[in-house]
Structure formats: C-alpha cells, structure tokens
Amino acid sequence: MDTPPPLDLDELDLADALARSWDLDVGQLRYIPKGFGSYHWFTETPAHRYFLTVDDLATKPWLGGTPDSTFEGLQAAYDSALALHRQANLTFVVAPIPQLGGGTALRLSERYALTVFPFMDGEPGVWGDPIARNDGQQLLRRLAELHRSTPAAASRAPRHGLVLPGRAVLEAALDDLDRPWTGGPFSEPARRQLAKHAAAVHEWMIAFDHLAGLVKKAGGEQVITHGKPHPGNLIYADDGVLLVDWDTVGLAPPERDLWMFDDGSPNVLAPYTEASGRMVDDTAISLFRLAWTLSDIAAFMALFRSDHGRHRGAEKSLRALTDSLVGALTTRPYGPR
C-alpha cells in the first residue's frame, strides 16, 4: 500500500525518541510509503543503517481490542522475534533492536508505537508476486526450523491458536450496518461493501467455527508461527530468504504459516514435512485460508471505522476489501512456482 505518513506524527518526535531511547543520533529520516497499518522510515548513522516502523495501534485487531492492549500484544510479538533471533539463533528472523532499557517497542502516543530494525541488504519481495521454486523450498525449510524453535519464545509469544483475529471488530461492524459510519471518506463505501456481502461473511464465520472445532478435536501441536510469510514480508539476501514484519508472530498450529504455499500441486509442502517430520493437516490448511480472508476484512473494518484520510493507500485498502469480500477464498497465489 502506498500510504502517506500520518499527519499527527512529527518526524522531530521520531528523531528525539531515537536519541532518547536508543541513543541514536541519526541523520535525515526518509519516509518509505509502503505497508498497511504501519509507517516506515529509513535512516542511518555513520556506522549503521536502520529501518523504522511506527505501528498504528488502531489498525491491529489481532493484537488487542484497545490501544493499550494492542501495544502490549505488539511488545510481546516483537519480544518473541528478538528471542527467536538471539536465543534460538535464527539468523533469518529480522528482529528489532532493543531500546537502552531493553524494550522492543516505544509508545509514542495514544495511537502510535515505534520500533527500530536493522536495515538489511537484499532484494525485498513484492506482495502478490510468486515465490521462485528454490526460494519457496528454502522458506518452507526455514519455517520448519522456526516451528522447532518454539521453546525459545513460547513464554512470551501471543497465543493466536484457533481464534479468529479481529473477530470482535468484525462482529461490531456487522452489527452496525444500518447507520452511517463517520471515521473518514472511505467509511461509507466500506460499510456499503460489507452490507452487500454480509450474508456471505456470516456464513464464512460459521464455517470458520466448524473447521476450528475439527482442528481442536484433532489435538495437533501448537508452535511458534510467523503468521504472514508471504512475498511482501521477505528479503532475498545473499545468505537466503529473510523474514520481516513480526507483529503477527504467535503460537498456533503450523498450518497458519503453510496454507498459502498449498497451491494444489503434488508434494508442494514436501520440503516442510521432510524438515519438520510433521504431516500437514488439510483441515487446518482450510481453516487458516479462511481465517486469512476474515482477518483481512476485520483489519479493513478497523481502518475504515477509525479516523482516516483520503490517500492512495486508503483507496487501495478499499479495493482490497472488495477483493476479499468477492472472491479471495479461491485464490492460491503463494505456492512455490
């Protein structure tokens, strides 16, 4: 998403936070207009380069229902990524740089939190692009290594389990379709889109509950998962595929990371099963494919029912909402080609 920086956040405040909490005397901040629910800048010192992420606590319903609980969930997620990088020695986990006091995320205001990451050399992946076969196979093996590293982060990781992220936000939106939404210029178009497809969304939620019941009854193991290992969260570096964007990390069945690689090809998940020793549960694959669509819709509801402006990123989000409502359940865009 090509999203402009928030109008209620001053770059001088970012520079001050970097100096105060990370002891970084940085040069110019260069805004990077990419992402959804987060804002990014590049900066550097004479010795190092950094990637700054400012998370919008109003648009991450999978982490919490209020800004305070969302910030707590964000801290737990980034702390987990740091533990995976340091304690489990997973070098492909691009983890945050802790503050002087040890925390990974700094609360800037009621709505925003700052996290600092190392800037990684390599070619960033692009959302929606296919993953080359060799890269996809390596990524599946790295996901197996991630899942085996659960003990390093289990004590602090969020527990996503079989719960639909953002369910309360989505249910609130479905219950509020009979009156205008006033968050911003795209609130009403979003309300009309959801109203048009409300019956289908209700059916998907019933299907989610049914599938979740089956997966729970099967009693499979929960592991530490990334949550969104798609091309937009990859960096193709000299030493292999790196994983970024760890605000969705959490304990869940392994299929939470695997469903998007299941493109229907025979043995497409073989690199994972060989590296992990686990068989993949097809019911769980279906569950998390459905959860992806519903949680995306919930995240868009959080955006469009909150204060937002008219910009290209919001326009793209509205189109993405429409795509999710119309037919995203049938797409399989991420299998290794």
Q: Are the beta carbons of 86 and 47 closer than 8 angstroms?
A: no
The pLDDT of residue 1 is: 53
Q: Is the pLDDT of residue 295 over 80?
A: yes
CA 143, 205, 62, 33 torsion: positive or negative?
A: positive
pLDDT at position 27 is 82
130 is written with which tokens? 């296919």
Mean pLDDT of 141-147: 98
Q: Which amino acid appears at position 285 of this protein?
A: I
What mean pLDDT value characterizes the chain?
91
pLDDT at 127: 81
CA distances from 8 to 107, 168, 184, 276 (A): 14, 27, 15, 46
CATH superfamily entry for domain 11-165+209-328:
Phosphorylase Kinase; domain 1 (3.30.200.20)
User: 3-state SS string over 41-70?
Assistant: EEEECCCCEEEEEEEECCCCCCCCCCHHHH
* Residue 248 DSSP symbol: T
- Name the pLDDT band for 314 (thresholds 50, 70, 90): confident
**pLDDT tens, position by position, 216-273:** 999 989 999 999 999 999 999 999 999 999 999 999 999 999 999 988 788 899 999 9
Say what the pLDDT of residue 115 is: 98
**Strand-pair partners of 32:** 40
Distance from C-alpha of 62 to C-alpha of 60, rounded to nearest angstrom: 6
**pLDDT, tens digit, 9 for 90 and up, residues 89-133:** 999 999 999 999 899 999 999 999 999 999 999 999 988 788 888
- Residue 40 near residue 31 (C-beta atoms within 8 A): yes
What's the pLDDT at 327? 67
User: Would you state the pLDDT for residue 67?
Assistant: 94
Q: In this predicted structure, what is the pLDDT of residue 254?
A: 97
Mean pLDDT of 178-196: 95
Amino acid at 5: P
Task: With cut-offs at 50, 70 and 90, classify the pLDDT of residue 311.
Answer: confident
Separation CA 245–CA 229 (nearest Å): 9
pLDDT band at 335 (very low <50, low <70, confident <90, very high): very low
Residue pair 309/285 in contact (Cβ under 8 Å)? The answer is no
The confidence score (pLDDT) of residue 150 equals 97
User: Tokens standing for 46?
Assistant: 């004479």
Q: How confident is the model at residue 149, as a pLDDT?
A: 97
6: nearest Cα among 72, 61, 56: 56
How far is 138 from 51, CA to CA, in rounded Å? Answer: 25
